[in-house]
Amino acid sequence: MSEITDKLNAAQLEAVTSTEGPVRVIAGAGAGKTRALTYRFAYLVTELGILPGNILCVTFTNKAAAEMRQRIHNLTGDNDTGHICTFHSFCVTVLQEDVNAVGYPKSFLVLDNSDINEMLREIYEERGLTLRDMTFANARDMIEILKLFERPDYYLDLIELTVDGLRQKYMDAVTPKDIIFYGYLYREKKCFGLDYNDLLKLTLYIFEKNADIRLKWQKRLEYIMIDEFQDIDSIQYELMEVLAGYHRNLFVIGDPDQVIYTWRGADVKYLLEFDKKFPGTKTVMMTKNYRSTPEILAAANSLIDKNVFRMKKDLTPTLPSGSPVICHEAQTGEAEAGFIVAEAQSLHDAGVPFRDMAVLYRSHFVTRCLEEALEKAKVPYAIYSGVRFFDRREVKDALSYLRMAAYRDDLAFTRIVNVPKRNIGERRMEFLREYAAEHGCSLYDALLKCADVELFRGTKARQFISLIETYSTGYAGRPVSEVLTAMLSDSGYERMLRTEGSQERLDNLAELKQSIYDYEITCGEECTLEHYLARAALFTNQDASEPGDRLKLMTVHAAKGLEFPYVFLCSMNEGVFPSKRTNTRPKMEEERRLAFVAMTRTEKRLYLTSSSGRNLDGSPRYPSRFVLDIAPGLLEYTSPPREGLIREAREYIEAAEARLSDGDTGGALPPGTRVRHSVFGEGTVTGVDGEKGAHIIKFDGIPTPRAIAFRAKLEKL
């Protein structure tokens, strides 16, 4: 036992050895959260004799899961690391075992955004829609909103209707909204595809409707651990409740001061009120910070203490004293960028690699001046906002070849049937689409049946069919990395890239092969082609890294979970950070938490920078309230702020604060309520805008409705 526990502090040891019943760990930034999780897993396996396959450990990125698996392997020496994965990956595992319960094949296809875009393109072409009706991005958002909120039982159509039945609903649809939604469901069912929302929804549906399957998984998962619990949303919470319903050994760990994803459904109440939902909960506080210097932590504690809705705690430093937090107020945005670049060069000259430095910001638009300064100074940098690795064209093409071997689905077929060129252009593709629609078959099957007709003479259709048939029947039992290497060679794809001189794309394919090989070693015999493809569709932006000695530029959201020796938190101005769109007190608290997350990414030295001058609308530019939230004695200014600047900023912030709404529609008047306004007179409430904190009122004497802030005095009639 000592081999595992002697490297833990008292709070970590308590978290690791508290194994039975519900356990909540409040773990501050840099407090060793991942260590507690991995050591707890190892403790369960090596000391208590729990089988790894009976433990579920949920993280929020595939990268974090992979790192955790490696740490646990190093601790236990066992290649079996149980279920260490994201919620979506775990649902893939459940569905691959039990999706037959809803009539889907176990070889279902997991769809990502590029697949969805291809489906949308087909819908738009078939039904005459254009991007003026709705952009693809807005269409994806609309589909997600419909699935999660407006039509939460949509999956019943997917399960209960036939492909022809869904197509009829699609063809009967009139509005762009319904055309897109039912066209998408129809295409999902046609290729037995499931998107991210479907994975959780169908899993919950199977558990709800099939008690035997539910009990099987509940009994199997003797211990459940959930990382980053402050980021959990309602569907994930529901899934967690179901899974923990038998053994009730539920361990959650998170930090309410790092809730920065409410806009995508995260709700801090699940962490704060966990003990109310699960009576008998044991709560452990982990506040010793092993990442940052006392100076950085003092500033971060001072900032976050201004939030009202939080669980009171202060991070306690364990590192020796270091540099003060530097605060720099520049005259212009260009001057601010110049300061950052000069400091980065100075650190580099002193022996600090550029890769140990990061510039963090609230939004990408602030980087223009910074990029210009970096280019001028010839400082190498990487912006973490480009095309993610698994969305790069050559990677998607390679995975589509693998999908053709496993599934022969229309999306993969459309992507690579003419890559490299096989003389199967749009005219022949249109023929295949019409044939497939008429005969109710896939595009690949249409090509199989039509390859010898006159239209396809002079093409390489037969060579393509031979390639797919060879690998469709021959991939079983072979390593995925070996299958991919052979397909890319036999298809002529890599030869095409070499002919084009596309070395960067060839390097990306080499990286893909390496990542598959690494995954095979980790997963062992479980890594079948279908298994790998399902998980490849779930990879996130954090699964790719930028090599080389480069200064890192990224948003604070992208930096969540990362740490850097030196951090520049730039553009700390009102209207930038906090964002000018922040119009409620809960949102302002989230912005402050976001600033707290940014500051606690830092290990050795933190810079807070801003610029004065004027905004585009001519208004004065003030320092961020988050800088002013920090006790002045905890900051070291490079030069004293302009006389009167802090006073003017505080006056501006005080006025802006008064305009914030509570963001709570609980006390709002329901639609239909008759009211009287002191100026506009009598009217009727027609709606409530919680985002803006306003009633929508149609006044009797005014032809159009008005948005009236909650704070306005209204007399209820």
Has residue 11 got a pLDDT over 90? yes
Q: If you average pLDDT over residues 99-121, what whole number do you get?
A: 90
Q: Which of 195, 198, 228, 397 is catalytic?
A: 228
Q: Which of 17, 34, 470, 542 is catalytic?
A: 34
Other C-beta atoms closer than 10 Å to the C-beta of 178 total 14
Least confident of 200-214, 243-257, 333-347, 491-505: 491-505
- Greater pLDDT, 491 or 535: 491
Other C-beta atoms closer than 10 Å to the C-beta of 470 total 14
DSSP 394: H
User: How confident is residue 537, by pLDDT bands cut at 50, 70 and 90?
Assistant: confident
Other C-beta atoms closer than 10 Å to the C-beta of 173 total 17
Residue located via tokens 């890769």: 355
Q: What is the pLDDT of residue 572?
A: 95
Q: Which of 98, 195, 227, 603 is catalytic?
A: 227
Least confident of 128-142, 334-348, 612-626: 612-626
Q: Which of 12, 24, 33, 605 is catalytic?
A: 33
Q: Which of 147, 313, 408, 601 is catalytic?
A: 601
User: How confident is residue 617, by pLDDT bands cut at 50, 70 and 90?
Assistant: low
228 is catalytic: yes
Q: What is the pLDDT of residue 303?
A: 96
Contact 192, 408 (CB under 8 A): no
Q: What is the pLDDT of residue 539?
A: 63
Per-residue pLDDT reduced to its tens digit, 417-440: 999 999 998 899 999 999 998 988
Q: What is the pLDDT of residue 193?
A: 92
Q: What is the pLDDT of residue 543?
A: 45
698, amino acid identity: K
415 is catalytic: no
- Greater pLDDT, 266 or 636: 636
525, amino acid identity: E
Q: What is the pLDDT of residue 602?
A: 96
168 is catalytic: no
Question: Sheet of 674-677: strands edge to edge?
Answer: 706-709, 694-699, 681-689, 674-677, 714-716
Percent above pLDDT 70 for the chain: 95
Contact 408, 471 (CB under 8 A): no
Distance CA 664, CA 643 (A): 39
Question: Sheet of 602-611: strands edge to edge?
Answer: 381-383, 551-555, 357-361, 564-569, 602-611, 325-330, 635-637
- Is residue 59 helix, strand or coil? coil
User: How much is the pTM?
Assistant: 0.76
* Pick from 203, 201, 202, 198: nearest CA to 185: 198
Q: What is the pLDDT of residue 544?
A: 44
Q: Which of 258, 293, 555, 582 is catalytic?
A: 258
Per-residue pLDDT reduced to its tens digit, 450-485: 999 999 988 999 999 999 999 998 888 888 989 999
Q: If you average pLDDT over residues 391-417, what whole number do you get?
A: 91
Has residue 249 got a pLDDT over 80? yes
Per-residue pLDDT reduced to its tens digit, 112-124: 888 898 899 999 9
Backbone region of residue 334 per phi and psi (left: phi > 0; alpha: psi in -120 to 50; beta: other values): alpha
Distance CA 106, CA 96 (A): 5
Buried b (16+ CB within 10 A) or exposed e, 567-587: bbbbbbbbbbbbeeebbbbbb
Q: Are strands 316-317 and 288-289 parallel, antiparallel or unpaired?
A: parallel
User: Is the torsion defined by CA of 204, 210, 214, 216 positive or negative?
Assistant: negative
438 is catalytic: no
3-state SS string over 117-136?
HHHHHHHHHHHCCCCCCCCH
Question: Rounded mean pLDDT of the chain?
Answer: 89
Q: What is the pLDDT of residue 541?
A: 38
Q: If you average pLDDT over residues 169-179, what whole number do you get?
A: 94
Per-residue pLDDT reduced to its tens digit, 289-323: 999 999 999 999 999 999 988 888 899 999 999 99
- Greater pLDDT, 598 or 68: 598
Element (H, E) at 223: strand 223-226
* Pick from 29, 604, 607: nearest CA to 294: 604
- Is residue 85 helix, strand or coil? strand
Full DSSP string of 149-179: II-TTTHHHHHHS-HHHHHHHHHH--SHHHH
Give backbone dihedrals phi and psi of 146, rounded to 5 degrees, phi first.
-60, -45
Q: Which residues contact 607 (CB under 8 A, 6 or more apart)?
A: 325, 326, 327, 328, 340, 343, 566, 567, 568, 569
Q: What is the pLDDT of residue 690?
A: 66
Per-residue pLDDT reduced to its tens digit, 363-387: 877 887 898 899 899 999 988 765 5
Contact 303, 577 (CB under 8 A): no
Per-residue pLDDT reduced to its tens digit, 560-586: 888 999 999 999 999 889 988 888 888
- Exposed / middle / buried, residue 425 (Cβ in 10 Å: 0-12, 13-18, 19+): exposed
User: How confident is residue 667, by pLDDT bands cut at 50, 70 and 90?
Assistant: low
- CA distance to 679, 704, 711, per residue, from 707 (Å): 14, 10, 12
Contact 661, 332 (CB under 8 A): no
Q: Are strands 714-716 and 674-677 parallel, antiparallel or unpaired?
A: antiparallel
